[in-house]
Structure 1
Amino acid sequence: MRKLELLAPAKDLKCGIAAIDCGADAVYIGAARFGARQAVGNSIDDINELCEYAHKFGCKVYVTVNTIIYDNELEDTQKLLNELGRIGVDAILVQDMGITKLQLPQNVALHASTQTDNRSAEKVEWLARHNFDRVVLARELSLEEIRNIHRRVPQTELEVFVHGALCVSYSGVCYASEYCFGRSANRGACAQFCRMKFDLTDKDGNEIINQAHLLSLKDMCRIDSLELLADAGVTSFKIEGRLKDINYVRNVTAAYSNQLNEIISRRGSEYERASSGVCDIRFTPNLNKTFNRGFTDYFLNGRTSDLASFYTPKAMGEYVGKVKEIRGNSFNVAGTTSFANGDGLCFINSNNELEGFRINRAEGNRLFPLRMPRGLRKGIALYRNSDQLFEKELNGDNVQRKLGIRINIKASAEGLHIEAKTCDEKLHINLQKDISLEKAQKSQVDNIKRQISKFGNTIFTVEDVIVEPTDFPWFIPNSILAEIRRQAADELMSRLSENHIDIRTKDHARQIPEKGKGSFHSISSYQQPYMYNIANRLAHSFYEQEGMSDITPAFEIRKPSSPLVMQCRYCLRHELGQCKKSHKQSGLLKEPLHLRLADGRTFRLEFDCKKCQMNIYADE
């Protein structure tokens, strides 16, 4: 039986706990430094507390150490790894190959971040040969490509993104932010170049499109494809969003957890959840009500159009109807949607820009904005990107996670024997209570079950109590039953931590591919040598040992002229209906095409139709 893991983002400790309570099997979080989201670092103490909470349910905590590292940071990186090993994190996510030459903590798995640009089976084999237990695949891969990688490297865990923001470039080989603003995506400081406005010009300098978000992709949503991904060999389903707030984490995690549970309810002989416990979620998840730029499943089922969101890089939210009538300082909306004071609405105005406003007062479907939007017109489609009632529901004390247990109490000449085990049978304890038993005047079974089930504020909930013999003729004081209950809770809690350590040690037994597979030369196909992101002496040594002859420093250290700043599977020609493969040659845009920022800087587009790939070069 194969374990399926739902992996949720944690901006901080509070978000991490919320993710676990809403059904995550694992969370990923950044430490104070060296994470690919520089703005959301966390202290060792907070990560330790998160580990302690997560491990109670068999959930795992992965820490991102997935930036490129400079020489003067290697010592601090080693100290961080030592601390992460000490507090018992389950894995570290890595981009910089130099880290593999540091002293890695024992029994902590090594995961290859998506920043290592993992597009092929050859790359996954190569990473596995260098002791990576898991590889986070590029977001751009199709279902068939994922399936083929799993067939080639079945012993290596595969992690894929299933929800959240999409980078237009293959992760790890985007240098646009560093080139334009001195903020390296490989150092966790991306300035979101791809969310900016551009003009599109042709060979003759003619402006084809004026100031649109031509590289801004919609958000990924693969909630309906989890079963297909599992069947293709995926181990971990990853939700993007370490910059997102706690309500985003709650809503999205709960939605995907429910979907995984539905799959396992049908196919329990093949799949099981990677962690334990039952989540009592008292709100109805709705992905449309949480931050999104519109949804796409990206390249999962092959190349499609309508991947980008040209009008805005911001959240539009859910469609709520069209403007029916405007009257003075109010308007009404056609449809059955309910509104609340404080809701945020938006629409695309006549300038093809997103215009937003807040509802001051709602009277049925007649809405009174705080200020009447200038661009609002009859017939315009409205979207709600802030739902006050839903946010209130998410903010409530309406989620808890418990471990279900079954208890068996058996009387014997020596006293009472108590057996307790979790419902998934991953944890089992036995207790002996030596007491003299006295005959009771009436049956004690109901009282024993009632008293022994009172686990109160612990993480345990009693699903069943069996008392033997069934007629149980002896009297047991409530004080003794309370003592048994406390002792059982303490023993279960103690065993939970030990059990997680045992499982982690067992899971960490690596299976390295045989020598000769996954050689460096099978993956050394980058167009530019700086794309290996070599930023320190240990990474230099690593690639030297791999047989690299021309070891070039990372882009962040030595900037080339007219560099390749992005490599994309997304193709602007295809998005505009101008694909050379699928459209007639006549009437196609004249190449080379260029993107132009508002400040005048330009970027040449190169269409590699053989690889079905778009490359973006900075013009000098």
Structure 2
Amino acid sequence: MRPELLAPAGDWECVRAAVENGADAIYFGLDRFNARMRAKNFTEADLPSLMEFLHRRGVRGYVTFNTLVFANELAEAEDYVRTIIAAGVDAAIVQDVGICRLIRRFSPDFPIHCSTQMTITSAAGVDFARELGAQLVVLARENSLADIAKIRAVDAASARGPMPLEVFVHGALCVAYSGQCLTSESLGGRSANRGECAQACRLPYDLIADGQQVPLGDRRYLLSPQDLAGIEVLPELVRAGVASLKIEGRLKSAEYVASITRVYRAALDRIFSAAAAPSGASSNSAAVDPSARYELEMTFSRGLQTGWFRGTNNQELVHARFGTKRGVYLGEVARVAHESVAVQLTAPLKPGDGVVFDAGQPDQREEGGRVYQVEAEPHSRLTTLRFGRGDIDWRRVAPGQRVWKTNDPALDRELRATYAGDKIRHQRPITMEVHGHAGSPLTIVARDGEGHVVQLASALPLAAAATQPLTRERLHEQLARLGGTPFKLGELQSHLEGNVILPVSELNRLRRELVTALEHLRAQPKRWTWSAAATAEPRSSVSAISAQVATEPPAGAAELIAVIRLPEQLEPAWSAGARTIYAEFENPKHYRDAVARFRTLQLENPQSKIENSSIWVAAPRIFKPGEEWILAQVRSCNADGYLIRNYDHLAFFAADRKRGDFSLNVANPLSAEYFLHRYGLERVTASYDLNFTQLEALLLRAPPAWFDLTIHQHMPMFHMEHCVFCAFLSDGKDYRDCGRPCDRHRVTLRDRVGAELPLKADAGCRNTVFNNRAQTGAEYVARLLELGARQFRVEFVNESPDEVARTVDRYARLLRGEISGADLWRELKLLNQLGVTRGQMESAAPTLRRKT
């Protein structure tokens, strides 16, 4: 199967760059509900002309609808869905479960592609997408080739056939799992789940282990992965049956789109040309052409690596020396003299190219500029580079500094020439059949491979030919003249009977009219099926779905839920009044002891009715193929119930009591209702992306009894496959050879303002970075109680037993009405030595006070 090459497009120039360089499809965002809100993006009014342009060129167009949608936005989202379907878009790339349901309510066949923001890492995730009615799944970037093979093997057994899979093949790598990064939300109210990532992973951090800074030299960008370049593993991805290869980059330039698209187009074509070659023909289709490697590095590169495709290698994934674009490595400065440097060049360099001198401190201003002269030194391997007078502060350039080529104007001009203007450069093959005999018209049938067929007959009959009959070669010569059109002639079949002839002018007319008719057919918008709900009064579908929700009984007394992450936090939480415990331990082996101790506490306190107390445990947030043993270990503790954090948990704990954790990203009633009624969850935790206004809207549109609300926590920021413990406290590549430093050291990451962010590792060796400052929603609790909310989570990370007891006690008093939220806020500010913030609840709420 030939996979689709999918390119990004942030604007019209990028669209043309992708199309003219061989993209099979593009993906683009509209001005709302997409994960790249900083891109230029298109508007709903652009859709008809954009889709017509793409379809004329044989290219598919996918709209990114890949953010969470809040309850008070569903009516607007419904309008978006209607517009997208009506415009003949080829698919929507969706994150939100509720939006998937909304699309299916309107159309049974409009394609849904489940975004990588849905954090699908396993066959159970693929099956979840299938249940939602999806036609394609974009896997998490963290899936290896081995993972993909296992997912494909399990999914192939589905009665409904295997689900097409898409993977990112090139571009910037997020260090955190897409859909599970709350860093921007935690630090500034700019949610990555809302397209507003602030890229905190590209900033420098210090590593603090057991209270001491770990000396790492110039390695400070501890969370900044090298860029993904899957070109080396393209043959393996093709053999794995991947349906779509996705290039990252809707914030990148048109030159970037042109470059990466054409490099991967050429590589894919080479693979399939080699496969079609006669048996025994030699081909090195897996090798990366040096000029292609140069172009990939030059266009945009923080260093290129195969990401997780070949498994986890924590020593290679993050080199930690810089977090910004570098380009092509030229060598080290050997000598500085007379406003010039001498370098032993490892890559080509010419006058006009831009370079930067890397002093190992990329967070400071770096010296660099355009090279004016490149002069090879006689009898030496060194080359002297000279620059414009005053361009470089030579006091800041020293021998040993690395030199990078950051810009190649000649390459930029070459790339722009591939898409500038209206000239058609990339043509797609069409097939033609020719029929006829003397005395009858010549009939031509043309097919574009996309289901469009045109048949035309000549106005003049064919005549018997005494000389120069219409051989296949002569037909090909005339019909292949398709310059200036989106087409090139592929296969030509001639079924002419006898030696016949037709005037060349008539043959040319037929060719022109065939092309015009074929273009007209392709330009028509896709006609998707509309359901009865779609013909209802606009904006009525959301209320119709809400009307189907059963009325819940009135809520009772408030329930305080203590979320603990250390075994020693259990007893102080209980002693302070918490009767519901959620446990998330790094090592699930400790769950059995925790459950046993909880049972003892229940028996020691007969005044606390056992039926009103319970302990719930959480398996790791991510599941990947082969980790079933972790789930079995978690269940073996015989807790009262389990926190559902991903799609495998839905299946594995199907027969158990279960509640949904925040990682399910429930932000609207349609998502909540689906998890509760389709999968039997008792409750779900409201998304941490919700500020108070949005949380209020959710509780007004769905039964409050459906939700756990988190009112105190250290926000879990980065959740990542990248293991900081392994990468910087060992020489190992992964858990098999790292020596488990996570078991021996308490580690934090210190950011640029001195905050030390706690770091935890789970049983799958995935790391979570937590905000060091506790955030509280104490001042909003009174209103939440008025709205009917009754289940409130108070979360801990590394707090001591005394801190846990004091905090639980204060929140228990708040929920009983003994103290006010303002009182608790003031007390927390005094007692919390790491500081406290109101957090995301007040962000984007203009009537509330500024964060402190």
TM-score by length of 2: 0.64
Query: Could you tell me how far 1:35 is from its partner in structure 2?
Result: 0.2
Alignment partner of 1:484: what SS?
helix
Check whether the contact 1:320–1:335 (CA below 8 A) recurs between aligned residues: yes
Match for residue 362 of structure 1? Answer: 373
Of 531, 540, 544, the residue aligned with 2:663 is 531
Alignment partner of 2:165: what SS?
strand
The 5 Å alignment of 1:416-495 reads 416-422=441-447, 428-435=453-460, 443=468, 452-462=479-489, 474=501, 476=503, 478=505, 480-495=506-521
Query: Could you tell me how far 1:426 is from its partner in structure 2?
Result: 6.1
Match for residue 279 of structure 1? Answer: none
* Structure 2: gaps spanning 5 or more residues: 157-161, 278-290, 376-382, 530-646, 692-709, 774-852
Check whether the contact 1:342–1:358 (CA below 8 A) recurs between aligned residues: no
1:113 aligns with 2:115: yes
1:387-438: CA deviation from partner (whole Å, max 9, x where unpaired): 1111111111477111334555555354431324358696554322242567
The 5 Å alignment of 1:40-439 reads 40=39, 41-102=41-102, 103-154=105-156, 155-206=162-213, 208-209=215-216, 212-268=220-276, 286-304=295-313, 305-335=315-345, 337-349=347-359, 351=361, 355-364=366-375, 365-370=383-388, 371-373=391-393, 374-397=395-418, 400-405=425-430, 407=432, 412-422=437-447, 428-435=453-460
C-alpha separation in 2, matches of 1:527 and 1:238: 34
C-alpha separation in 2, matches of 1:343 and 1:353: 23
C-alpha separation in 2, matches of 1:167 and 1:145: 19
1:553 aligns with 2:686: yes
Which amino acid in structure 2 is aligned with residue 166 of structure 1?
Answer: L
Which amino acid in structure 2 is aligned with residue 554 of structure 1?
Answer: S
C-alpha separation in 2, matches of 1:414 and 1:176: 76
Check whether the contact 2:329–2:347 (CA below 8 A) recurs between aligned residues: no
C-alpha separation in 1, matches of 2:367 and 2:53: 40
- Distance change in 2, residues 1:444/1:254 (3 Å): same
Alignment partner of 1:6: what SS?
strand
Of 763, 769, 777, the residue aligned with 1:616 is 769
C-alpha separation in 2, matches of 1:554 and 1:386: 43
Match for residue 570 of structure 1? Answer: 722
- Distance change in 2, residues 1:448/1:24 (3 Å): closer
Check whether the contact 1:17–1:50 (CA below 8 A) recurs between aligned residues: no
Which amino acid in structure 2 is aligned with residue 416 of structure 1?
Answer: P
- Distance change in 2, residues 1:96/1:388 (3 Å): same
Higher percent of residues as strand: 1
More deviation, 312-321/524-533: 524-533
Which structure has the greater CA radius of gyration? 2
C-alpha separation in 2, matches of 1:59 and 1:363: 43
Cα RMSD after superposing both structures: 3.3
- Distance change in 2, residues 1:158/1:467 (3 Å): closer
1:54-109: CA deviation from partner (whole Å, max 9, x where unpaired): 32354321111111111221111111111111111111111111113323445321
The 5 Å alignment of 1:575-614 reads 575-578=727-730, 582-583=737-738, 591-608=745-762, 610-614=763-767
- Distance change in 2, residues 1:249/1:523 (3 Å): farther
C-alpha separation in 2, matches of 1:379 and 1:218: 23
C-alpha separation in 2, matches of 1:490 and 1:48: 19
C-alpha separation in 2, matches of 1:531 and 1:440: 75
Aligned residues: 590
- Distance change in 2, residues 1:433/1:194 (3 Å): same
C-alpha separation in 2, matches of 1:178 and 1:569: 20
- Distance change in 2, residues 1:204/1:377 (3 Å): closer
Check whether the contact 2:461–2:502 (CA below 8 A) recurs between aligned residues: no
Match for residue 537 of structure 2? Answer: none
C-alpha separation in 2, matches of 1:230 and 1:477: 44
Query: Could you tell me how far 1:460 is from its partner in structure 2?
Result: 2.4
- Distance change in 2, residues 1:247/1:105 (3 Å): farther
Alignment partner of 1:212: what SS?
coil
More deviation, 177-186/523-532: 523-532
Query: Could you tell me how far 1:473 is from its partner in structure 2?
Result: 6.2
Higher percent of residues as helix: 2
- Distance change in 2, residues 1:176/1:472 (3 Å): same
Check whether the contact 2:438–2:463 (CA below 8 A) recurs between aligned residues: no
1:484-517: CA deviation from partner (whole Å, max 9, x where unpaired): 223222232244457x959x99xxxxxxxxxxx9
Alignment partner of 1:544: what SS?
helix
Check whether the contact 1:330–1:372 (CA below 8 A) recurs between aligned residues: no
- Distance change in 2, residues 1:414/1:132 (3 Å): same
Alignment partner of 2:61: what SS?
strand
- Distance change in 2, residues 1:328/1:30 (3 Å): same
1:10 aligns with 2:163: no
TM-score by length of 1: 0.86
C-alpha separation in 2, matches of 1:146 and 1:466: 40
- Distance change in 2, residues 1:234/1:208 (3 Å): same
Check whether the contact 2:367–2:397 (CA below 8 A) recurs between aligned residues: no
- Distance change in 2, residues 1:153/1:519 (3 Å): farther
Check whether the contact 1:415–1:432 (CA below 8 A) recurs between aligned residues: no
* Structure 1: gaps spanning 5 or more residues: 270-282, 506-516
C-alpha separation in 1, matches of 2:151 and 2:306: 19
Check whether the contact 1:408–1:466 (CA below 8 A) recurs between aligned residues: yes
C-alpha separation in 2, matches of 1:309 and 1:104: 48
Check whether the contact 2:437–2:497 (CA below 8 A) recurs between aligned residues: no
1:511-567: CA deviation from partner (whole Å, max 9, x where unpaired): xxxxxx978344899998222221122222222213222322111226641122221
C-alpha separation in 1, matches of 2:667 and 2:210: 37
Match for residue 23 of structure 2? Answer: 24
Match for residue 288 of structure 2? Answer: none
Alignment partner of 2:514: what SS?
helix
- Distance change in 2, residues 1:426/1:104 (3 Å): closer
Which amino acid in structure 2 is aligned with residue 224 of structure 1?
Answer: E
More deviation, 253-262/440-449: 440-449
Check whether the contact 1:419–1:428 (CA below 8 A) recurs between aligned residues: no
More deviation, 433-442/146-155: 433-442
- Distance change in 2, residues 1:136/1:441 (3 Å): closer
Which amino acid in structure 1 is aligned with residue 407 of structure 2?
Answer: S
Alignment partner of 1:51: what SS?
helix
- Distance change in 2, residues 1:284/1:56 (3 Å): farther
C-alpha separation in 2, matches of 1:369 and 1:156: 56
Query: Could you tell me how far 1:258 is from its partner in structure 2?
Result: 1.5
Percent identity between the two aligned chains: 29
C-alpha separation in 2, matches of 1:447 and 1:227: 38
